[in-house]
Amino acid sequence: MADQNDIPRVDVSNWRVWFAGGWAIVLECLLIVILLPQGSSLVHVEHLWMLVPPVISFLVIFLWLLHRTGAAGGDKQEMPVEYRQVMAWSLLAGLVFYLVSGSVSDPWFYFLQWISGRQLYGLGLFLFCALAALLVPVLSCCRSKISAWVIVFGILIWTQITAFNQLWQATGGHALYGNDHANCLYRLWIYAQTFPRLIFYDPLWNAGAETPSLVSTGIIPLGTIFLPLWKLFQTDLMYTPVLACSFIIVVPFLAGLSARLVGGGWSAAGCAAILALGVSQYFFHLFFVAGNAGACFALPFVMLAVACLYRVLWLDCFANSTGIMLVFALVMLLAWPPSAVIVILLPLVVVFSAQQLSLRRVSFLLLCVVSIIAICLPFIMGVLGRIESMDFVMRSAGGMELAGLLSAGLGRLLEQLRQANPCLIFLGVIGVWFLPKKGMMAVFGATMAGLGLLAGCGDLGSQYLQLSHASIPLFFVAVIPASLWMEKWLEDVAPRMLLVRAMVISILLMCAINISLIYGNKGPSKYTLMNPDVDQVAEWMGKYTSDGSRMLFVGSAVHQDGGVCVNPFPMLVRREMMFSDQFNYPVEPVQGNEKSLFDYINLFNVSFVIACHDQWKTFLLLNNEHYKVVKSFPGIPTRTIFRVNRDMNQFVKGGGKVKGGINELAVVLDDPLEEAVLRYVWQDGLTAKEPVEIYPFDAGKDVKFIGVKPHGKSSFRIKYKKLL
């Protein structure tokens, strides 16, 4: 993986070198001005003095080294200035200027407590400058390339240990449960039972529904890579440890591997791993607060995909391992369906590398494309074949004019840039255009430009495609060029590079500290754990309700349990549930009409009603001939459970018992000669072994239940066997 395509050393007298450095500074200054929040000053003048100590430290050590080596006369032939050194001063000048600009006042700025704190030594900026000043004399004694990657990997390992420790101390190992984390828990529990099937029949919610949520939510990478753990252990106990392993170990590994694939050394791999541990505050918001763990884990695979593509196009590598990694990375990335729009950018990248195309390259890439299509066919069929539950994705953002959408998109992109790790902005997004490595602009530069365009303008097509998240893969792609620049500077032991090396290590240490704070729940995006009330409710349900009883959440239930979804309840208590926010809700939600609600309850064999909203509690209390309060749980909100005054019966016709499980129903009939109708929704793909026959039974109100002709069979299983 040697760096074979580096441009050779360039004489500093060449005007192009200085022009490149000057142009980089111009771009950085423009970006700094653009990123300034409204009403902010250009620079925090009161903090500029902090930059003086590292400069003084450098000047003292530099002059001492010159004196010691007898080169005080400045023999330019002995100490030539190289292109990478000019770019180091240019790019780092912009980065340091940004670190004292008005953008750092943004409450969502990447580095926590950067210029705000009670004590001076607690300020991130002060710590950064102090570390740089102290590192200058230390690095003057470290003049080998080995010392560079040893330091970098030491920082990486320390970061991973402290991040995991902070997360464990904050959570105690309990499952993250805010917002969509609850859905992820339930989907992973199902995935362990249904693998390798991606479409499943779920009788635990809404009397049975065919559900494509495993395909449409990006949960497949998390489910597949850690499948043995999901199968062997309780899902809610493994959830947080697996997430820690995914984002603290696997994602940095992907970054380090990608850096090596494009020709970087071990120092680049270590730097990439550190930077990938936390690319932006927006990423942590999507992960911790929104709970979209599936998408957050799928998107980093873009690093490996782009690195493999670069390796094929520019490093003439056609090894089987490269093809396998390219296919694997793109399949994992495409597991989150909106990534399909992102992947469309990759053929455009090939166009920018048209001069590199040959019959062998084209054949290799076509074989990879065919493999990806074959593997992703279940994803495609799972989403497109069930478009009725996904049609909201294709809705356009109505009610706004084109200019308004563009303005909103640009504003959102600028916000996300301010939330990103500054190293990725200045050394990655800008630095890639100056990196002395053939093909970097054509592959990484073009990819980042396309992702930036999607992040800013993606909502013009459909805001529900969530293309504003394209900034996250943009920052992950920026990790690679940023790490390559860092490696070049860290391994340059020229005395004039001492301050640059010190600042690079200092900023990596600040990244490490920042990541540890964020995982310790001290950032602006704070995660939450499972509310203790949820355990109490689940325990009560398991103890005081019987098998076969079905519970109905009335009113909006998606975010009623402390701001999260109630999806995991069947996993926790093994009881069947119903609520109106699920896809494939059997009939239109009942809007407080006493007769229609009770008819609905009878139709679906509801035994208990759970109310969290005051208007529903009042409604049920007023109809006390049908509903009796059996338990009330304090909390926010207060949950009240009502028992329905009716006999439980799982059958419209016939009698017996039914036990629902993912993709199957275990049925025991009282009379094996009598035709029966189960109060479970019919779906194509349900089958039973002969002599049992099953068929759709019209129960009215557009509901079809499962009809059964047992033909003398008293005990049997109805299974869902549709693959796509």
Burial class (CB in 10 A: 0-12, 13-18, 19+), 380: middle
Helices 301-314 and 251-261 pack at an angle, to 10 degrees, of 10
d(CA 380, CA 388): 14
**Residue 570 contacts by C-beta under 8 Å, 6 or more apart in sequence?**
186, 204, 205, 576, 577
User: Over the range 131-170, which residues count as b (16 or more CB within 10 Å of their CB) and which as e?
Assistant: bbbebbeebbebeebebbbebbbebbeebbebbbebbeeb
Q: Is residue 637 reached through a cis peptide bond, with omega within 30 degrees of 0 on the bond before it?
A: yes
Confidence at residue 392, expressed as pLDDT on a 0 to 100 scale: 46
Confidence at residue 17, expressed as pLDDT on a 0 to 100 scale: 84
d(CA 517, CA 167): 9
Confidence at residue 587, expressed as pLDDT on a 0 to 100 scale: 55
Confidence at residue 590, expressed as pLDDT on a 0 to 100 scale: 57
659, 704 contact by CB (below 8 A): no
User: Over the range 300-333, which residues count as b (16 or more CB within 10 Å of their CB) and which as e?
Assistant: bbbbbbbbbbbbbbbbebeeeebbebbbbbbbbb
Q: Is residue 196 reached through a cis peptide bond, with omega within 30 degrees of 0 on the bond before it?
A: yes
Strand order of the β-sheet with 606-611 is: 576-579, 550-554, 606-611, 639-644, 627-633
Residue 457 CA from chain centroid, whole number: 21
d(CA 670, CA 664): 20
Half-sphere exposure of 530 (CA within 13 A, CB side): 23
Confidence at residue 401, expressed as pLDDT on a 0 to 100 scale: 64
Residues of the chain where predicted confidence (pLDDT) is lower than 50:
1-5, 7-10, 71-77, 387-394, 396, 559, 563
Confidence at residue 472, expressed as pLDDT on a 0 to 100 scale: 96
Question: What 3-state DSSP class applies to 155?
Answer: helix
Which residue from 330, 290, 417 is spatially nearest to 33, judged by alpha carbons? 417
d(CA 68, CA 66): 5
